[in-house]
A and B are shown apart, each in its own frame.
Chain A
Protein backbone atom coordinates (compact mmCIF):
# COMPACT_ATOMS: atom_id res chain seq x y z
CA UNK A 1 0.00 0.00 0.00
CA UNK A 2 2.91 2.28 0.68
CA UNK A 3 3.83 2.19 -2.99
CA UNK A 4 0.41 3.34 -4.09
CA UNK A 5 0.74 6.66 -2.31
CA UNK A 6 3.29 8.25 -4.56
CA UNK A 7 2.57 6.32 -7.71
CA UNK A 8 -0.39 8.41 -8.94
CA UNK A 9 1.72 11.52 -8.53
CA UNK A 10 4.43 9.94 -10.63
CA UNK A 11 1.83 9.33 -13.34
CA UNK A 12 0.64 12.93 -13.37
CA UNK A 13 4.07 14.46 -12.76
CA UNK A 14 4.92 14.94 -16.47
CA UNK A 15 1.63 16.74 -16.93
CA UNK A 16 2.17 19.01 -13.94
CA UNK A 17 5.67 19.86 -15.07
CA UNK A 18 4.41 20.57 -18.57
CA UNK A 19 1.60 22.66 -17.15
CA UNK A 20 3.97 24.73 -15.04
CA UNK A 21 6.45 25.36 -17.85
CA UNK A 22 4.13 25.80 -20.81
CA UNK A 23 0.89 27.09 -19.29
CA UNK A 24 1.17 28.54 -15.79
CA UNK A 25 4.48 30.33 -16.22
CA UNK A 26 3.59 31.75 -19.64
CA UNK A 27 0.25 33.09 -18.45
CA UNK A 28 1.86 34.83 -15.48
CA UNK A 29 4.84 36.04 -17.48
CA UNK A 30 2.53 37.34 -20.16
CA UNK A 31 0.66 39.29 -17.54
CA UNK A 32 3.92 40.78 -16.25
CA UNK A 33 4.99 41.64 -19.78
CA UNK A 34 1.85 43.65 -20.37
CA UNK A 35 3.17 46.24 -17.90
CA UNK A 36 6.57 46.47 -19.54
CA UNK A 37 8.32 47.66 -22.63
CA UNK A 38 10.76 45.08 -23.88
CA UNK A 39 12.50 44.45 -27.21
CA UNK A 40 14.17 41.22 -26.00
CA UNK A 41 17.71 42.52 -26.32
CA UNK A 42 17.55 45.51 -23.99
CA UNK A 43 16.54 45.27 -20.32
CA UNK A 44 12.83 45.31 -19.52
CA UNK A 45 11.39 48.70 -18.70
CA UNK A 46 8.34 49.13 -16.45
CA UNK A 47 5.74 51.28 -18.17
CA UNK A 48 2.65 50.81 -16.04
CA UNK A 49 -0.53 50.83 -18.06
CA UNK A 50 1.05 52.35 -21.19
CA UNK A 51 0.53 49.21 -23.24
CA UNK A 52 -3.15 49.17 -22.38
CA UNK A 53 -3.77 52.81 -23.20
CA UNK A 54 -1.84 52.33 -26.41
CA UNK A 55 -3.97 49.33 -27.29
CA UNK A 56 -7.20 51.25 -26.84
CA UNK A 57 -5.89 53.97 -29.14
CA UNK A 58 -4.37 51.59 -31.67
CA UNK A 59 -6.72 51.89 -34.63
CA UNK A 60 -4.96 49.08 -36.45
CA UNK A 61 -5.65 46.61 -33.66
CA UNK A 62 -9.36 47.44 -33.67
CA UNK A 63 -9.34 47.14 -37.42
CA UNK A 64 -7.97 43.62 -37.09
CA UNK A 65 -10.86 42.77 -34.80
CA UNK A 66 -13.25 44.27 -37.34
CA UNK A 67 -11.59 42.16 -40.01
CA UNK A 68 -12.05 39.05 -37.91
CA UNK A 69 -15.72 39.86 -37.43
CA UNK A 70 -16.13 40.39 -41.15
CA UNK A 71 -14.53 37.01 -41.73
CA UNK A 72 -16.87 35.33 -39.26
CA UNK A 73 -19.96 37.00 -40.72
CA UNK A 74 -19.24 35.37 -44.07
CA UNK A 75 -17.63 32.19 -42.85
CA UNK A 76 -20.14 30.99 -40.26
CA UNK A 77 -23.38 31.27 -42.26
CA UNK A 78 -21.70 29.86 -45.35
CA UNK A 79 -20.26 27.00 -43.38
CA UNK A 80 -23.58 26.20 -41.70
CA UNK A 81 -25.58 26.28 -44.92
CA UNK A 82 -23.17 24.28 -47.04
CA UNK A 83 -22.41 21.73 -44.33
CA UNK A 84 -26.03 21.24 -43.42
CA UNK A 85 -27.11 20.94 -47.06
CA UNK A 86 -24.42 18.40 -47.91
CA UNK A 87 -25.12 16.41 -44.75
CA UNK A 88 -28.84 16.42 -45.53
CA UNK A 89 -28.11 15.12 -49.05
CA UNK A 90 -25.78 12.44 -47.76
CA UNK A 91 -28.34 11.35 -45.23
CA UNK A 92 -30.80 10.31 -47.92
CA UNK A 93 -29.81 6.73 -48.40
CA UNK A 94 -27.66 7.24 -51.44
CA UNK A 95 -25.00 5.18 -53.15
CA UNK A 96 -21.31 6.08 -53.02
CA UNK A 97 -21.85 7.79 -49.69
CA UNK A 98 -18.34 6.83 -48.60
CA UNK A 99 -16.81 8.38 -51.70
CA UNK A 100 -18.61 11.68 -51.28
CA UNK A 101 -17.79 11.83 -47.63
CA UNK A 102 -14.11 11.13 -48.31
CA UNK A 103 -14.04 13.80 -51.02
CA UNK A 104 -15.59 16.47 -48.81
CA UNK A 105 -13.19 15.57 -46.05
CA UNK A 106 -10.02 15.76 -48.12
CA UNK A 107 -9.25 19.48 -47.58
CA UNK A 108 -9.74 19.05 -43.83
CA UNK A 109 -6.70 16.87 -43.39
CA UNK A 110 -4.36 18.74 -45.70
CA UNK A 111 -2.09 21.40 -44.24
CA UNK A 112 -3.39 24.96 -44.36
CA UNK A 113 -0.17 25.90 -46.12
CA UNK A 114 -1.00 23.63 -49.05
CA UNK A 115 -4.52 24.98 -49.28
CA UNK A 116 -3.35 28.58 -49.20
CA UNK A 117 -0.68 28.13 -51.84
CA UNK A 118 -3.21 26.38 -54.05
CA UNK A 119 -5.97 28.94 -53.61
CA UNK A 120 -3.58 31.79 -54.12
CA UNK A 121 -3.22 30.50 -57.67
CA UNK A 122 -6.95 29.92 -58.10
CA UNK A 123 -7.61 33.50 -56.93
CA UNK A 124 -4.92 34.99 -59.19
CA UNK A 125 -6.08 38.07 -61.07
CA UNK A 126 -4.42 37.70 -64.46
CA UNK A 127 -4.45 33.98 -65.02
CA UNK A 128 -6.08 32.46 -61.95
CA UNK A 129 -8.58 29.72 -62.66
CA UNK A 130 -11.60 31.60 -61.32
CA UNK A 131 -10.96 34.68 -63.40
CA UNK A 132 -10.32 32.58 -66.50
CA UNK A 133 -13.69 30.92 -65.99
CA UNK A 134 -15.33 34.33 -65.52
CA UNK A 135 -13.76 35.83 -68.64
CA UNK A 136 -14.70 32.74 -70.64
CA UNK A 137 -18.27 33.35 -69.60
CA UNK A 138 -17.91 36.96 -70.73
CA UNK A 139 -17.82 38.45 -67.25
CA UNK A 140 -15.36 40.88 -65.70
CA UNK A 141 -12.43 39.71 -63.67
CA UNK A 142 -12.76 39.87 -59.90
CA UNK A 143 -9.93 41.15 -57.70
CA UNK A 144 -10.24 38.20 -55.33
CA UNK A 145 -7.16 39.03 -53.30
CA UNK A 146 -6.33 42.53 -54.51
CA UNK A 147 -9.60 44.35 -53.96
CA UNK A 148 -9.72 45.51 -50.33
CA UNK A 149 -13.50 45.13 -50.23
CA UNK A 150 -13.37 41.53 -51.42
CA UNK A 151 -10.16 39.97 -50.12
CA UNK A 152 -11.42 38.96 -46.66
CA UNK A 153 -14.51 37.38 -48.20
CA UNK A 154 -12.28 35.38 -50.52
CA UNK A 155 -10.32 34.09 -47.57
CA UNK A 156 -13.58 33.23 -45.80
CA UNK A 157 -14.72 31.25 -48.84
CA UNK A 158 -11.43 29.40 -48.91
CA UNK A 159 -11.60 28.65 -45.19
CA UNK A 160 -15.10 27.28 -45.66
CA UNK A 161 -13.88 25.02 -48.44
CA UNK A 162 -11.11 23.78 -46.19
CA UNK A 163 -13.20 23.06 -43.09
CA UNK A 164 -16.69 22.27 -44.27
CA UNK A 165 -16.01 18.54 -44.64
CA UNK A 166 -15.55 18.23 -40.90
CA UNK A 167 -18.87 19.91 -40.23
CA UNK A 168 -20.63 17.73 -42.78
CA UNK A 169 -19.54 14.75 -40.72
CA UNK A 170 -20.65 16.37 -37.47
CA UNK A 171 -24.06 17.22 -38.92
CA UNK A 172 -24.36 13.72 -40.30
CA UNK A 173 -23.84 12.34 -36.80
CA UNK A 174 -26.42 14.84 -35.57
CA UNK A 175 -28.96 13.96 -38.25
CA UNK A 176 -28.71 10.30 -37.44
CA UNK A 177 -29.81 10.98 -33.89
CA UNK A 178 -33.19 12.17 -35.11
CA UNK A 179 -35.62 9.28 -34.52
CA UNK A 180 -37.13 8.17 -37.87
CA UNK A 181 -40.66 7.95 -36.47
CA UNK A 182 -40.74 11.74 -36.09
CA UNK A 183 -40.53 12.02 -39.86
CA UNK A 184 -43.01 9.19 -40.34
CA UNK A 185 -45.50 10.99 -38.15
CA UNK A 186 -44.96 14.19 -40.10
CA UNK A 187 -45.43 12.33 -43.38
CA UNK A 188 -48.81 11.11 -42.20
CA UNK A 189 -49.82 14.68 -41.50
CA UNK A 190 -48.68 15.60 -45.02
CA UNK A 191 -45.81 17.88 -44.05
CA UNK A 192 -43.62 19.24 -46.86
CA UNK A 193 -39.92 18.61 -47.01
CA UNK A 194 -39.15 22.11 -45.84
CA UNK A 195 -41.63 21.89 -42.95
CA UNK A 196 -40.04 18.66 -41.77
CA UNK A 197 -36.62 20.24 -41.97
CA UNK A 198 -37.72 23.39 -40.20
CA UNK A 199 -39.74 21.81 -37.41
CA UNK A 200 -38.06 18.48 -36.82
CA UNK A 201 -34.51 18.45 -38.11
CA UNK A 202 -33.40 21.92 -37.09
CA UNK A 203 -34.52 21.75 -33.45
CA UNK A 204 -33.08 18.26 -33.10
CA UNK A 205 -29.63 19.22 -34.36
CA UNK A 206 -29.46 22.48 -32.47
CA UNK A 207 -26.59 21.22 -30.28
CA UNK A 208 -24.57 20.44 -33.40
CA UNK A 209 -25.25 23.86 -34.86
CA UNK A 210 -24.11 25.38 -31.61
CA UNK A 211 -20.91 23.34 -31.74
CA UNK A 212 -20.23 24.32 -35.32
CA UNK A 213 -20.70 27.99 -34.52
CA UNK A 214 -18.35 27.79 -31.55
CA UNK A 215 -15.70 25.83 -33.44
CA UNK A 216 -15.87 28.18 -36.41
CA UNK A 217 -15.63 31.17 -34.11
CA UNK A 218 -12.54 29.85 -32.39
CA UNK A 219 -11.07 28.89 -35.75
CA UNK A 220 -11.84 32.33 -37.15
CA UNK A 221 -10.23 34.04 -34.20
CA UNK A 222 -7.01 32.11 -34.80
CA UNK A 223 -6.83 33.02 -38.47
CA UNK A 224 -3.14 33.37 -39.29
CA UNK A 225 -1.53 31.27 -41.96
CA UNK A 226 -4.05 32.15 -44.68
CA UNK A 227 -3.44 35.91 -44.68
CA UNK A 228 0.25 35.38 -43.84
CA UNK A 229 0.83 33.40 -47.02
CA UNK A 230 -1.76 34.85 -49.39
CA UNK A 231 -1.90 38.57 -48.74
CA UNK A 232 0.51 39.43 -45.93
CA UNK A 233 -2.50 41.17 -44.35
CA UNK A 234 -3.17 43.45 -47.31
CA UNK A 235 -4.61 44.99 -49.41
CA UNK A 236 -5.01 48.07 -47.21
CA UNK A 237 -4.83 45.80 -44.15
CA UNK A 238 -8.21 44.37 -45.05
CA UNK A 239 -7.08 40.83 -44.28
CA UNK A 240 -4.82 41.63 -41.35
CA UNK A 241 -6.06 39.24 -38.68
CA UNK A 242 -5.51 39.85 -35.01
CA UNK A 243 -3.15 36.90 -34.64
CA UNK A 244 -1.09 38.07 -37.60
CA UNK A 245 -0.93 41.53 -36.06
CA UNK A 246 0.13 40.12 -32.69
CA UNK A 247 2.74 38.02 -34.46
CA UNK A 248 4.06 41.04 -36.33
CA UNK A 249 4.25 43.18 -33.19
CA UNK A 250 6.29 40.49 -31.50
CA UNK A 251 8.44 39.01 -34.22
CA UNK A 252 8.79 41.82 -36.71
CA UNK A 253 9.04 44.83 -34.40
CA UNK A 254 10.00 43.04 -31.17
CA UNK A 255 7.43 44.89 -29.08
CA UNK A 256 7.14 41.97 -26.71
CA UNK A 257 5.25 43.80 -24.00
CA UNK A 258 2.75 45.33 -26.35
CA UNK A 259 2.24 42.11 -28.22
CA UNK A 260 1.60 40.28 -24.96
CA UNK A 261 -0.97 42.93 -24.06
CA UNK A 262 -2.78 42.41 -27.32
CA UNK A 263 -2.61 38.65 -26.87
CA UNK A 264 -4.01 38.85 -23.38
CA UNK A 265 -6.85 41.11 -24.33
CA UNK A 266 -7.63 39.09 -27.43
CA UNK A 267 -7.76 35.84 -25.49
CA UNK A 268 -10.12 37.49 -23.04
CA UNK A 269 -12.26 38.61 -25.97
CA UNK A 270 -12.43 35.09 -27.41
CA UNK A 271 -13.51 33.63 -24.09
CA UNK A 272 -16.18 36.30 -23.73
CA UNK A 273 -17.57 35.77 -27.22
CA UNK A 274 -17.68 32.00 -26.83
CA UNK A 275 -19.37 32.35 -23.46
CA UNK A 276 -21.96 34.75 -24.89
CA UNK A 277 -22.64 32.39 -27.76
CA UNK A 278 -23.11 29.57 -25.30
CA UNK A 279 -25.51 31.60 -23.22
CA UNK A 280 -27.43 32.79 -26.29
CA UNK A 281 -27.81 29.38 -27.85
CA UNK A 282 -28.76 27.78 -24.55
CA UNK A 283 -31.58 30.29 -24.01
CA UNK A 284 -32.71 29.63 -27.57
CA UNK A 285 -32.95 25.96 -26.72
CA UNK A 286 -35.05 26.69 -23.67
CA UNK A 287 -37.49 28.63 -25.83
Chain B
Protein backbone atom coordinates (compact mmCIF):
# COMPACT_ATOMS: atom_id res chain seq x y z
CA UNK B 1 0.00 0.00 0.00
CA UNK B 2 2.74 2.38 1.01
CA UNK B 3 4.59 1.45 -2.16
CA UNK B 4 1.59 2.32 -4.32
CA UNK B 5 1.05 5.59 -2.52
CA UNK B 6 4.65 6.61 -2.99
CA UNK B 7 4.46 5.66 -6.67
CA UNK B 8 1.29 7.72 -7.04
CA UNK B 9 2.91 10.72 -5.44
CA UNK B 10 5.93 10.39 -7.70
CA UNK B 11 3.71 10.13 -10.78
CA UNK B 12 1.90 13.30 -9.87
CA UNK B 13 5.15 15.16 -9.33
CA UNK B 14 6.52 13.92 -12.64
CA UNK B 15 3.38 14.95 -14.51
CA UNK B 16 3.58 18.44 -13.09
CA UNK B 17 7.27 18.62 -13.88
CA UNK B 18 6.64 17.67 -17.50
CA UNK B 19 4.21 20.54 -18.14
CA UNK B 20 6.90 23.18 -18.80
CA UNK B 21 8.63 20.79 -21.19
CA UNK B 22 5.39 20.25 -23.13
CA UNK B 23 4.83 23.99 -23.27
CA UNK B 24 8.36 24.44 -24.60
CA UNK B 25 7.79 21.79 -27.25
CA UNK B 26 4.58 23.50 -28.38
CA UNK B 27 6.23 26.92 -28.69
CA UNK B 28 9.35 25.54 -30.35
CA UNK B 29 7.47 23.55 -33.00
CA UNK B 30 5.27 26.53 -33.69
CA UNK B 31 8.26 28.78 -34.33
CA UNK B 32 10.10 26.10 -36.29
CA UNK B 33 7.18 25.67 -38.65
CA UNK B 34 7.11 29.43 -39.22
CA UNK B 35 10.79 29.55 -40.17
CA UNK B 36 10.57 26.67 -42.61
CA UNK B 37 10.35 27.85 -46.20
CA UNK B 38 7.05 27.45 -48.01
CA UNK B 39 3.80 29.38 -47.83
CA UNK B 40 0.79 27.24 -46.98
CA UNK B 41 -1.53 29.82 -48.48
CA UNK B 42 0.13 29.42 -51.87
CA UNK B 43 0.10 25.67 -51.49
CA UNK B 44 -3.59 25.48 -50.69
CA UNK B 45 -4.77 28.02 -53.23
CA UNK B 46 -7.09 26.39 -55.72
CA UNK B 47 -4.51 26.14 -58.47
CA UNK B 48 -1.26 27.42 -59.88
CA UNK B 49 -3.10 30.28 -61.53
CA UNK B 50 -4.85 31.47 -58.38
CA UNK B 51 -4.70 35.19 -58.09
CA UNK B 52 -2.96 37.20 -55.42
CA UNK B 53 -6.34 38.11 -53.96
CA UNK B 54 -7.30 34.50 -53.44
CA UNK B 55 -3.99 33.80 -51.70
CA UNK B 56 -4.47 36.82 -49.45
CA UNK B 57 -7.97 35.57 -48.71
CA UNK B 58 -6.68 32.13 -47.63
CA UNK B 59 -3.95 33.75 -45.61
CA UNK B 60 -6.51 35.82 -43.71
CA UNK B 61 -8.67 32.76 -43.11
CA UNK B 62 -5.69 30.93 -41.69
CA UNK B 63 -4.75 33.91 -39.57
CA UNK B 64 -1.35 34.08 -41.27
CA UNK B 65 -1.62 37.79 -41.93
CA UNK B 66 -1.18 38.62 -38.25
CA UNK B 67 2.28 39.11 -36.69
CA UNK B 68 3.89 35.88 -35.43
CA UNK B 69 3.57 36.68 -31.67
CA UNK B 70 -0.16 37.18 -32.13
CA UNK B 71 -0.39 33.93 -34.05
CA UNK B 72 1.47 32.19 -31.24
CA UNK B 73 -0.88 33.54 -28.58
CA UNK B 74 -3.88 32.48 -30.65
CA UNK B 75 -2.36 29.03 -31.10
CA UNK B 76 -1.69 28.63 -27.39
CA UNK B 77 -5.18 29.83 -26.54
CA UNK B 78 -6.59 27.21 -28.91
CA UNK B 79 -4.34 24.57 -27.40
CA UNK B 80 -5.56 25.38 -23.91
CA UNK B 81 -9.08 24.57 -25.11
CA UNK B 82 -7.88 21.30 -26.63
CA UNK B 83 -8.18 22.63 -30.16
CA UNK B 84 -5.23 21.51 -32.28
CA UNK B 85 -6.46 23.34 -35.37
CA UNK B 86 -7.67 22.05 -38.69
CA UNK B 87 -5.66 20.22 -41.31
CA UNK B 88 -5.71 21.97 -44.64
CA UNK B 89 -5.08 18.78 -46.59
CA UNK B 90 -7.75 16.55 -45.04
CA UNK B 91 -10.11 19.33 -44.02
CA UNK B 92 -10.63 17.57 -40.69
CA UNK B 93 -9.77 18.80 -37.19
CA UNK B 94 -6.24 17.63 -36.40
CA UNK B 95 -7.35 16.08 -33.10
CA UNK B 96 -9.86 13.86 -34.91
CA UNK B 97 -7.28 12.83 -37.52
CA UNK B 98 -4.72 11.96 -34.89
CA UNK B 99 -7.24 10.08 -32.79
CA UNK B 100 -8.27 8.00 -35.77
CA UNK B 101 -4.72 7.21 -36.82
CA UNK B 102 -2.95 6.86 -33.46
CA UNK B 103 -4.13 3.29 -32.71
CA UNK B 104 -2.56 2.07 -35.94
CA UNK B 105 0.81 3.53 -34.97
CA UNK B 106 0.59 2.36 -31.38
CA UNK B 107 -0.42 -1.14 -32.37
CA UNK B 108 2.52 -1.38 -34.73
CA UNK B 109 5.01 0.07 -32.24
CA UNK B 110 3.84 -2.03 -29.30
CA UNK B 111 3.84 -5.25 -31.32
CA UNK B 112 7.31 -4.41 -32.59
CA UNK B 113 8.50 -3.76 -29.04
CA UNK B 114 7.05 -7.02 -27.77
CA UNK B 115 8.59 -8.87 -30.69
CA UNK B 116 11.94 -7.18 -30.11
CA UNK B 117 11.87 -7.97 -26.39
CA UNK B 118 10.91 -11.59 -26.92
CA UNK B 119 13.89 -11.97 -29.22
CA UNK B 120 16.37 -9.73 -27.46
CA UNK B 121 16.01 -11.09 -23.93
CA UNK B 122 16.68 -14.76 -24.71
CA UNK B 123 19.47 -13.83 -27.12
CA UNK B 124 21.05 -11.49 -24.59
CA UNK B 125 20.83 -14.09 -21.83
CA UNK B 126 22.30 -16.82 -24.03
CA UNK B 127 25.12 -14.54 -25.10
CA UNK B 128 25.85 -13.64 -21.48
CA UNK B 129 25.83 -17.25 -20.29
CA UNK B 130 28.38 -18.21 -22.94
CA UNK B 131 30.47 -15.11 -23.54
CA UNK B 132 32.65 -15.26 -26.66
CA UNK B 133 31.01 -18.46 -27.82
CA UNK B 134 29.49 -19.06 -31.24
CA UNK B 135 26.07 -17.93 -29.92
CA UNK B 136 27.55 -14.71 -28.58
CA UNK B 137 29.16 -13.91 -31.91
CA UNK B 138 25.98 -14.80 -33.78
CA UNK B 139 23.93 -12.44 -31.62
CA UNK B 140 26.51 -9.73 -32.09
CA UNK B 141 26.32 -10.15 -35.87
CA UNK B 142 22.52 -10.04 -35.89
CA UNK B 143 22.50 -6.92 -33.74
CA UNK B 144 25.07 -5.19 -35.91
CA UNK B 145 23.07 -5.96 -39.02
CA UNK B 146 19.85 -4.75 -37.42
CA UNK B 147 21.29 -1.49 -36.21
CA UNK B 148 23.33 -0.59 -39.28
CA UNK B 149 20.56 -1.14 -41.81
CA UNK B 150 18.09 1.73 -42.15
CA UNK B 151 14.49 0.63 -41.62
CA UNK B 152 13.41 1.49 -45.14
CA UNK B 153 16.13 -0.80 -46.52
CA UNK B 154 15.40 -3.69 -44.18
CA UNK B 155 11.66 -3.14 -44.73
CA UNK B 156 12.05 -3.33 -48.48
CA UNK B 157 14.31 -6.39 -48.19
CA UNK B 158 11.74 -8.14 -45.99
CA UNK B 159 8.99 -7.29 -48.47
CA UNK B 160 11.14 -8.58 -51.30
CA UNK B 161 11.85 -11.84 -49.50
CA UNK B 162 8.55 -12.61 -47.81
CA UNK B 163 6.04 -11.05 -50.19
CA UNK B 164 7.69 -11.21 -53.60
CA UNK B 165 9.88 -14.31 -53.38
CA UNK B 166 8.22 -16.53 -50.79
CA UNK B 167 4.71 -15.19 -50.82
CA UNK B 168 4.34 -15.69 -47.06
CA UNK B 169 3.18 -12.18 -46.39
CA UNK B 170 0.15 -10.44 -47.93
CA UNK B 171 0.32 -7.33 -50.08
CA UNK B 172 2.17 -4.81 -47.85
CA UNK B 173 -0.38 -2.03 -48.00
CA UNK B 174 -2.42 -0.92 -45.02
CA UNK B 175 -3.61 -2.63 -41.90
CA UNK B 176 -6.18 -4.99 -43.34
CA UNK B 177 -6.78 -6.78 -46.60
CA UNK B 178 -9.45 -4.90 -48.58
CA UNK B 179 -11.66 -7.97 -48.79
CA UNK B 180 -11.82 -8.52 -45.06
CA UNK B 181 -14.46 -6.60 -43.16
CA UNK B 182 -13.16 -4.32 -40.41
CA UNK B 183 -14.23 -5.39 -36.93
CA UNK B 184 -16.36 -2.85 -35.02
CA UNK B 185 -14.09 -0.21 -33.53
CA UNK B 186 -13.70 -0.36 -29.76
CA UNK B 187 -10.07 0.35 -29.00
CA UNK B 188 -8.86 1.00 -32.52
CA UNK B 189 -6.33 -1.80 -32.13
CA UNK B 190 -7.42 -4.22 -34.83
CA UNK B 191 -6.03 -7.28 -33.06
CA UNK B 192 -7.88 -6.38 -29.86
CA UNK B 193 -11.11 -5.39 -31.59
CA UNK B 194 -11.19 -8.54 -33.69
CA UNK B 195 -10.53 -10.70 -30.66
CA UNK B 196 -13.29 -8.92 -28.72
CA UNK B 197 -15.97 -9.89 -31.22
CA UNK B 198 -14.39 -13.27 -31.90
CA UNK B 199 -13.78 -12.47 -35.56
CA UNK B 200 -10.73 -14.68 -35.97
CA UNK B 201 -10.64 -14.31 -39.73
CA UNK B 202 -10.11 -10.58 -39.34
CA UNK B 203 -7.64 -11.19 -36.52
CA UNK B 204 -5.47 -13.41 -38.71
CA UNK B 205 -5.76 -10.97 -41.58
CA UNK B 206 -4.68 -8.08 -39.35
CA UNK B 207 -1.84 -10.08 -37.82
CA UNK B 208 -0.54 -11.14 -41.20
CA UNK B 209 -0.46 -7.50 -42.32
CA UNK B 210 1.22 -6.48 -39.10
CA UNK B 211 4.07 -8.91 -38.70
CA UNK B 212 6.25 -7.69 -41.52
CA UNK B 213 6.37 -3.99 -40.51
CA UNK B 214 6.64 -5.04 -36.86
CA UNK B 215 9.59 -7.29 -37.69
CA UNK B 216 11.24 -4.44 -39.57
CA UNK B 217 11.03 -2.20 -36.54
CA UNK B 218 11.95 -4.97 -34.12
CA UNK B 219 15.12 -5.65 -36.07
CA UNK B 220 15.99 -1.99 -35.74
CA UNK B 221 15.79 -1.95 -31.93
CA UNK B 222 17.03 -5.48 -31.33
CA UNK B 223 20.59 -4.29 -30.90
CA UNK B 224 20.22 -1.93 -27.93
CA UNK B 225 17.93 -4.32 -26.08
CA UNK B 226 20.00 -7.45 -26.66
CA UNK B 227 23.32 -5.76 -25.95
CA UNK B 228 21.98 -4.18 -22.78
CA UNK B 229 20.57 -7.49 -21.59
CA UNK B 230 23.88 -9.19 -22.29
CA UNK B 231 25.96 -6.55 -20.52
CA UNK B 232 23.77 -6.35 -17.48
CA UNK B 233 23.44 -10.14 -17.24
CA UNK B 234 27.23 -10.45 -17.40
CA UNK B 235 27.60 -7.93 -14.60
CA UNK B 236 24.93 -9.52 -12.42
CA UNK B 237 26.24 -13.05 -12.95
CA UNK B 238 29.51 -12.11 -11.27
CA UNK B 239 27.85 -10.50 -8.25
CA UNK B 240 27.99 -11.89 -4.76
CA UNK B 241 24.38 -12.98 -4.43
CA UNK B 242 24.66 -15.19 -7.50
CA UNK B 243 27.60 -16.90 -5.82
CA UNK B 244 25.43 -17.26 -2.71
CA UNK B 245 22.70 -18.92 -4.74
CA UNK B 246 25.23 -21.32 -6.25
CA UNK B 247 26.84 -22.01 -2.87
CA UNK B 248 23.48 -22.94 -1.36
CA UNK B 249 22.53 -25.31 -4.12
CA UNK B 250 19.83 -23.47 -6.02
CA UNK B 251 19.17 -24.92 -9.44
CA UNK B 252 20.89 -23.30 -12.40
CA UNK B 253 17.48 -22.36 -13.78
CA UNK B 254 16.50 -20.56 -10.62
CA UNK B 255 19.84 -18.80 -10.33
CA UNK B 256 19.73 -17.58 -13.92
CA UNK B 257 16.05 -16.74 -14.31
CA UNK B 258 15.03 -15.58 -10.85
CA UNK B 259 18.21 -14.31 -9.24
CA UNK B 260 20.20 -13.03 -12.21
CA UNK B 261 17.59 -12.09 -14.79
CA UNK B 262 15.30 -10.09 -12.54
CA UNK B 263 18.22 -8.00 -11.39
CA UNK B 264 19.60 -7.72 -14.90
CA UNK B 265 16.26 -6.48 -16.19
CA UNK B 266 16.44 -3.27 -14.15
CA UNK B 267 18.70 -1.42 -16.61
CA UNK B 268 16.81 -3.03 -19.51
CA UNK B 269 13.60 -1.41 -18.26
CA UNK B 270 15.31 1.96 -18.39
CA UNK B 271 16.58 1.39 -21.91
CA UNK B 272 13.13 0.19 -22.95
CA UNK B 273 11.73 3.69 -22.54
CA UNK B 274 14.44 5.12 -24.76
CA UNK B 275 13.90 2.34 -27.31
CA UNK B 276 10.17 2.98 -27.42
CA UNK B 277 10.74 6.64 -28.14
CA UNK B 278 13.23 5.76 -30.89
CA UNK B 279 10.63 3.50 -32.40
CA UNK B 280 8.07 6.29 -32.50
CA UNK B 281 10.54 8.23 -34.61
CA UNK B 282 11.42 5.26 -36.76
CA UNK B 283 7.70 4.82 -37.41
CA UNK B 284 7.76 7.54 -40.05
CA UNK B 285 9.79 5.47 -42.49
CA UNK B 286 8.22 2.11 -41.72
CA UNK B 287 4.70 3.49 -42.10
CA UNK B 288 5.66 4.98 -45.45
CA UNK B 289 7.20 1.76 -46.73
CA UNK B 290 4.21 -0.34 -45.68
CA UNK B 291 1.56 2.31 -46.44
CA UNK B 292 0.52 2.05 -42.82
CA UNK B 293 -2.25 4.55 -41.98
CA UNK B 294 -0.58 5.82 -38.81
CA UNK B 295 0.09 9.25 -37.33
CA UNK B 296 3.70 9.38 -38.50
CA UNK B 297 2.93 9.08 -42.20
CA UNK B 298 0.12 11.60 -41.68
CA UNK B 299 2.56 14.08 -40.16
CA UNK B 300 5.10 13.49 -42.92
CA UNK B 301 2.51 14.23 -45.61
CA UNK B 302 1.45 17.35 -43.75
CA UNK B 303 5.04 18.52 -43.44
CA UNK B 304 5.62 18.13 -47.18
CA UNK B 305 2.44 20.13 -47.78
CA UNK B 306 3.46 22.93 -45.38
CA UNK B 307 0.32 22.09 -43.43
CA UNK B 308 1.20 23.59 -40.04
CA UNK B 309 -1.49 22.32 -37.72
CA UNK B 310 -1.04 18.54 -38.17
CA UNK B 311 2.73 18.74 -37.76
CA UNK B 312 2.42 20.79 -34.58
CA UNK B 313 -0.26 18.45 -33.30
CA UNK B 314 1.89 15.42 -34.10
CA UNK B 315 4.98 16.74 -32.34
CA UNK B 316 2.93 17.64 -29.29
CA UNK B 317 1.35 14.19 -29.30
CA UNK B 318 4.74 12.53 -29.50
CA UNK B 319 6.00 14.66 -26.64
CA UNK B 320 3.01 13.63 -24.55
CA UNK B 321 3.53 9.97 -25.40
CA UNK B 322 7.16 10.37 -24.48
CA UNK B 323 6.19 11.75 -21.09
CA UNK B 324 3.68 8.93 -20.57
CA UNK B 325 6.21 6.27 -21.56
CA UNK B 326 8.68 7.66 -19.08
CA UNK B 327 6.05 7.63 -16.37
CA UNK B 328 5.21 4.01 -17.13
CA UNK B 329 8.90 3.11 -17.05
CA UNK B 330 9.17 4.89 -13.73
CA UNK B 331 6.31 2.90 -12.26
CA UNK B 332 7.69 -0.35 -13.63
CA UNK B 333 11.07 0.43 -12.17
CA UNK B 334 9.54 1.31 -8.83
CA UNK B 335 7.73 -2.02 -8.76
CA UNK B 336 10.75 -4.01 -9.93
CA UNK B 337 13.29 -2.49 -7.59
CA UNK B 338 12.23 -2.18 -3.95
CA UNK B 339 15.22 0.06 -3.23
CA UNK B 340 13.90 2.92 -5.37
CA UNK B 341 10.85 3.86 -3.32
CA UNK B 342 12.89 4.26 -0.18
CA UNK B 343 15.33 6.85 -1.48
The answer to whether A binds B is no
